[in-house]
Amino acid sequence: MVIHVASEGQSESAAGVPNSRARSRRAFSHHSLSRNAAAAIMVATVVVALVCVISFAAASYAALDARASNDIAQEAQRYASHIEAESLDGDELVDFLEDQAQLVGSDKRITLISSDGTVIFDNDVSDVSVLENHAARPEFIEAEQTGESSAGRYSETLQEVTLYHSIRLQNGDVLRFATTQSSVWGVVLSMLGPCAIVVVLALIAAAVASRFLANVISGDLMRVNLDKPLESDAPEELEPLLARLDAQRKRLDAQASERRQYTANVSHELKTPLTVISGYAEIIAAGIAKPEDIKSFARTIHDESQRMKGMVDDIISLSKLDDMGTVAVEGGAVGVQAGSDLGVDMAQDVSLESVANDVCVRLRPYASDLGVDLSVAISRHDNEPVQVRGNARIVGELVRNLAENAIRYNVEGGAATIEVEGCADGSACVRVSDTGIGIPKELRERVFERFFRVDESRSKETGGSGLGLAIVKHAAQVHGAAITVRDNKPQGTIIEVAFPAR
């Protein structure tokens, strides 16, 4: 055990853990929060700028399209109204359109189509006879049917859209006005230059702003005092994280304090028997002891060495259970996985009845020496064997320690009972009762602490190490079991360990 304690101390100094920590630090992949934040802000800014530019181009195109459609519709209606008012027809109508063609500009096209689809006039074509019949054109068909129509056609080759507005005249001819404008993609392409300038400016602004914001964010984090997280001047968004850091720090401090206390207790508990053994051995070796006392001294040395051996065994058991509990917490699992990681089979079907009977057989001579009646009581449900899932050796240690305590802290002529009960839902419990000195209510939580004793003098007399119930607590934890302590009327204590269903 001395070696074990030394190895624990070395694990924090020269045993190689600093080297492993250094290796962990080297293996850990570090990254810059400020650089990541700056990059994210820059990307977001550029994306927003592009979306805004594209959205603006689309909105501009929609507005231009609506305006152009409205303009040619109004112009077509104005011309149609004038033609109807002047009753223009035939050559007069063509002459009128030829005159007006000089005024409307090159961006508008005026076409006159007869009722059979033949083109009579087109200001973009000098010889209309070369034009195909327009009877199949959608804008012509709709105008013939409803009197007026609007349409648009997209040219992939020219990346342009031609807007048409047609009106049927009283003589059956169709007057069609058309104008051509760039498509939405044409508008976007025409804005590539301004877009590029906007994106570059956005990048520059984002680089400056992101660096500033990243420094603000990282500065808030750097001001966090890890020793006193909740007292740090930090943003309120970090409060949950700081609360967890504070809880973890307190937990680590408590564990460190407990470890120091544990080491001190181990040293103290081992020092007493070692002092006795060393003293008596020295007396015998020096030849000072009387011949008739040597046998008594040897018995004392044997008893103290057995006591120390039992304590070392308990410490080793507790250390193993501690390791299983640590693996369970870090791995996010419960007993079965924790045990398998340490080479302990936690998937055994353990008969609580057999464990209780074996413990009773082993401890009955010890109970008889102290004048305590030790017995076992089994309560099955539907005559089903009482079994739990776990490790038989650990469950045996749990029951043995409970029974030893029930015997050790009993009174002469008292009784200790190991009860095993199976429940309807498949769960089970072990209940150990005694008629001994009892445990005050205010101490029932502390009895599971290492080296804690309710009656210090009684423990020294009976040889208790103060680790029995600590072993019980950890053995129950790795099995997912719950422990309760209550009075045994009229005198004594009942400790119950409830195991979950398999």
- What tokens does 314 get? 């308990």
Taking the C-alpha atoms of residue 188 and residue 52, their distance in angstroms, rounded to an integer, is 12
User: Is 248 or 497 the better-scoring residue by pLDDT?
Assistant: 497
Res 186: pLDDT: 57
Q: What is the 3-state secondary structure (H, E, C) of 53-95?
A: HHHHHHHHHHHHHHHHHHHHHHHHHHHHHHHHHHCCCHHHHHH
Which ranges in 370-467 belong to alpha helices (H)?
392-408, 456-462
Which segment, 27-41, 219-233, 361-375, is predicted with the most confidence on average? 361-375
Res 41: pLDDT: 75
Band of the pLDDT at 30, cuts 50, 70, 90?
low
Residues 199-220 pLDDT 10s: 788 778 777 777 777 777 666 6
Taking the C-alpha atoms of residue 268 and residue 48, their distance in angstroms, rounded to an integer, is 70
User: Is 242 or 26 the better-scoring residue by pLDDT?
Assistant: 242
Mean of the pLDDT values across residues 461-468?
62
Q: How many CB atoms lie within 10 A of CB 481?
A: 24
> The whole model's pTM is what?
0.47
Residues 254-266 pLDDT 10s: 777 767 766 666 6
